[in-house]
Structure 1
Amino acid sequence: MLAFLRLHGQRLRLFLHSYGRSLLALFFGLLFPLLAFVAIAAEVYEQDPFSFERPFMFAVHAQAAPPLDRLAASLAAFGNTPGMLPVTLILAACLYRMRPRLTYFLMLSLAGSVVFHAVLKKVFDRPRPTLWTPIAPEADFSFPSGHAMFAASLVSALVVLLWPTRWRWAALVLGVGYVLTMMWSRVYSGVHYPTDVLAGALVGLIWVMALDRLLQGHRLLASPPQSESR
């Protein structure tokens, strides 16, 4: 019995050593965000109000100042589809010089977010908040936030691609800061509820992590075919 436990204990330790990080990435990068999004989306679909949202939005708006207004307006212009297109093309061109497959992954990450954004807006058709005059008014529906989704998709894709390099922690820290700033700006501008931006960021993360798993990870994407390595 003891020999059996020792044998299987060793196998379990080897399994966790080999796949522990992958399992953690799968849970925190895909399964947990998916469950969180489903929980938020179910309440939004049923049109059940979140009691914390209005007080939170008024608390954010209470810090209004001209420099913050200009920052929020700049992020509004930069973070939409037309604003993200030049940035995506520049990054794609740089990655293409290194490895074409990296470019394909980046482009798929952003293109998928555009599709999910358009579809989910139509499904939930949540009206925009009308608590104050927005800095940069929007005409479409509110849930989920496209700006937060595009930011999370871009950052997640870059972190996935840079994870095998020494730049991974810099990309992660700066990327998370950028996503949080974008989320704040949409609430501060008065065009999104907090759950809109949270759901948008979750969808962006879920899509990129699912795409990474579907394509068997960035190592497969980054590795050149045999014909290129000769």
Structure 2
Amino acid sequence: MTDLWTNACRPRPEEAELRESVWRVCSEFLSRPLTIGMGMRMFNLDPYSRPLTIHVVGATHNETLGARTTDMDELGRMFPGHQGLEVVMVGPEVVQGPIMRPPLRAFGPRGKVYISAYKGFYHQFWEEVVEKGEAAKPNLVVGFHPGFDGQEVNQDWLATLLLLRDYNIPTLFTMISNEELQSTLHMFMELEMDVKDTGSNPFSSLKPEHLPKSPNKAPIYANAHYVSFRGLLEVKEEEEQN
């Protein structure tokens, strides 16, 4: 290691600095399972009382390129001795790899996390797989950086959002900035989503990144903010009038 820093013409960092640097890099990867665990807590989903199924909607190369079947094992460490956890990656940009295998039809093994993937839009996955009984219905749906950045939501995302709303599925989305969060909240209000919680994600990535389109702006952090919703917003004014 001494030769490495000498050849790089840089002083060797202290041990604490190296550990912090390694943690920043690792936090980008660990942010996803930790955020899923946070979503389970938010919606009071108890993995010790029953097996749970989590669908990751809008999965891209960020989650699936080089993905291994052990990538979500941190969930098992968060909930040791759980009854079984299944994570299904769903999205049109899912990359072929070891996790590209069928979802579970029955409960998985206790204490294990099973990962599978489906290449396609979520509403298609629901119609072609879930409704035919070839996959379990989700206890929780999570989306990492869906990209609701103020532009009109496309029809594929709209179909997915309405499905999640109408089936009353606990859902958690993450955003990279407060601006994206506010834009998403505005859109959810228009869709009459019942927003449960929103704020800064305590399990966001600590690795600073710059957007290619905005290199001069302040760095962003993966999964920096979150918003959760479940079902259709009830209009209290109508209830009071009745």
Q: What TM-score do the two structures reach when normalised by structure 2? A: 0.27
Higher-strand-fraction structure? 2
Larger RCO, structure (CA 8 Å, separation 6 or more) = 1
Q: What TM-score do the two structures reach when normalised by structure 1? A: 0.28
Higher-helix-fraction structure? 1
